[in-house]
Chains A and B, each alone.
Chain A
Amino acid sequence: MAVTVLDSLNHALDHAMDTDSRVYLLGEDILDPYGGAFKVTRGLSTKFPERVLTTPISEAGIVGVANGMALRGLRPVAEIMFGDFVTLSADQLVNHAAKFRWMYNDNVRLPLVVRTPMGGRRGYGPTHSQSLEKLFLGVPGLKVVAPNALGNPGDLLLAAIAEEDPVLFVEHKLLYTRPLLEPGQGELADYEIQEFSEPYTSYVLRIPNYAPCLTIATYGYNFELARAAALDLMMEHEAFCELVLFSQLSPFGLQPLAASLRRTGNLLTVEEGTLSLGWGAEVAARCVEAVEGLRVRRVAARDLPVANAKSLEDAILPSVQDIVNAALELVGR
């Protein structure tokens, strides 16, 4: 059976706990046999009963307790059951986790990981479907990392656990059951893939021997949509894209994106968070500052809550067709 994103994350947690007794897990309903709302922690409370702590429904408490643990030498990994609830831990992330090291003049370290599933398309409605990571981008002292199905999400998680600083680790719900994508195999057979490590690997994908006219920048699950759109653009419109896939959203480096943009001159950002003042806006601004003559479009969710009814949810969240349309407009076809 193919290894899924869920397996990869679960194995990474298992490995981290096995090799480092400072690693603790905290979260709601994470004990076996349930193993967490999305099963990422399944099996771990059986194997490490002392270090897997099921908590009351207290998102501020969970992250706050984890902050205290991290300040005093442990490596807690906290789970927030749905990303929507991360707002209840916002104070702990922004005013505590992200501040302590700098505010205490580097006297302390805070090796914390907060994992949480974000994203819609499962009909969970307005308070269980959001992509709220945009609210936590640009907070000094807080890293935001989002795995995707390429490469190894578990390696990203292990890198986050190895950090000395807090990381918000955003897992799109639809990724969990996805098999891992292998470079050069299956759907990725046509692509030449370059890796950039920071230490959270980002990727540039291109079709060799065809001049690209457009760069699509994206992260997380939206890489799946962006790839489908790129295929359509290639087959139906003979428009070749370079895809730049981010894993570390904040803070972020401009390379390899800027280099790709110097080849294509057109940037299309794709995200599932709401459009206004979002990830794409900042990426676009930074790129426009750096790359002469750049043209930009953003594809994102409409500025509305995520509706429950599938017809509405589909209309609110970005689709493959939205990406294709924006791309064609951008390249003038």
Chain B
Amino acid sequence: MQRLMRTATLAAGAVMLLPRASGADGPGEAKVGLPLDVSTEGHRIDALLHQTLVLVGLLFLGMLAWMAYALFRHRQGHSARFERGEGAAGKALPLGMAAFVFLVVDGNLFVKSSRDIDHVFWNFSAVESRPDALRIEVNARQWAWDFRYPGPDGRFDSPDDVITLNELKVPAGRPVVLQIGSTDVIHSFNLPNLRVKVDALPGSISRAWFQATRNGQFELACAQHCGTHHYKMRGLVTVLPEAEFQSWLAEAQAHSLRAFDELDESARWGWSWKDHRP
């Protein structure tokens, strides 16, 4: 399958859209393709991207062959065939092709994406019901990311919350559920290596979730134009082994009350967690 995909896409002239993972830390990496996937569910997206690439590559080749043959063989010297294509036989080809694309290419996309969206990516109640789910609140602002973990009281939006700037620390192997807002303009929370993207909107709260499969540092990007320094709205996701994460959180919680500043309005962006469990 890998080889078929490669030939088809290459031949399709889609230069180097090869389904090869390129490293998260980039430099020196010359390959072009999807960035490394470090999530439990990202493979669903990647597989659908690859399949569709193969299918549209084949359609493109068909189009190219048809055009090339017609234009090289049926030139001025060749007298035109008088046909209107209005008969039943004439309509069969366009309608048949349209049905083929709709049922096969679109059908594959629709069936798989609706399954993945309904059961996995946007199925928040299932994830939140898992006892090991970690909840984090995110605030996007020009041009930084704030993250909020509940303090020892276990509640959000209270003085003992742990707050980090531009660094999201999560454990590997546990689902992480995010609620995301913005305090100025629209941003978009984008974790390319975890295949997560959702807008951060002022006035409402968006949700996302992921589960990381390996330790390491990965980039968080803002995907929505949010002003002059949009391009610098970069954060980091640090995926830690469970024990290391626990000790970091305990340490941070121990100091969080001391870091709380009654007068700092801008730090009070939190909200009490919006529970979506059934």
Is B truly associated with A? no
Q: Which residues on B are within 8 Å of A, measured CB to CB?
A: none
Residues of A participating in the B interface, judged by any CB pair closer than 8 Å: none
